[in-house]
Amino acid sequence: MTESTAKQPARRGRIFPERTLPPEELARRKAEQEIFSRRCRAIFERVRPDLIQEHYGWYIAVEPDSGDYFIDEDIEVTSQKAREKHPNAVHCMFCLNETGASGTI
């Protein structure tokens, strides 16, 4: 019977520590995301009163650079419409209701 004499050291911490982002980069990304969200929210708040009467509960995808928005009952169709018109842009999704949030908690 063969016995193994070499014992592997216990691994603790991250699997890939070299891929850890510095705190400055994390803060920069968070700030960019907040700015993007505010720009999208402003467009949503502007068009929501007009659309909420006829399309309550529908989804709206907002592309903040152009100001375009796309609505549909199905979230996937809404996203597809936004990607067709702006294939390389990131869009933000809202639900046409009082808060803009979709789903339940």
Q: What is the pLDDT of residues 36-65, one digit of tens each?
A: 999 999 999 999 999 999 999 999 999 999
Give the three-state DSSP class for 81. Answer: helix
How far apart are alpha carbons 14 and 35 in whole angstroms?
Answer: 30
Question: 6 falls in which pLDDT band (50, 70, 90)?
Answer: low
Q: The whole model's pTM is what?
A: 0.75
How far apart are alpha carbons 71 and 15 in whole angstroms?
Answer: 42
How far apart are alpha carbons 30 and 68 in whole angstroms?
Answer: 24
Q: Which residues pair with 72 in a beta bridge?
A: 59
Give the three-state DSSP class for 67. Answer: coil
Question: 35 falls in which pLDDT band (50, 70, 90)?
Answer: very high
Q: What percent of the chain has pLDDT over 70?
A: 86
Q: What is the mean pLDDT of residues 14-41?
A: 90
Tokens 């509960």: give the residue.
57
Q: What is the mean pLDDT of residues 75-95?
A: 94
Beginning with the edge strand found earlier in the chain, give each strand of the sheet holding 68-72 in spatial order.
68-72, 59-63, 92-95
How far apart are alpha carbons 99 and 48 in whole angstroms?
Answer: 10
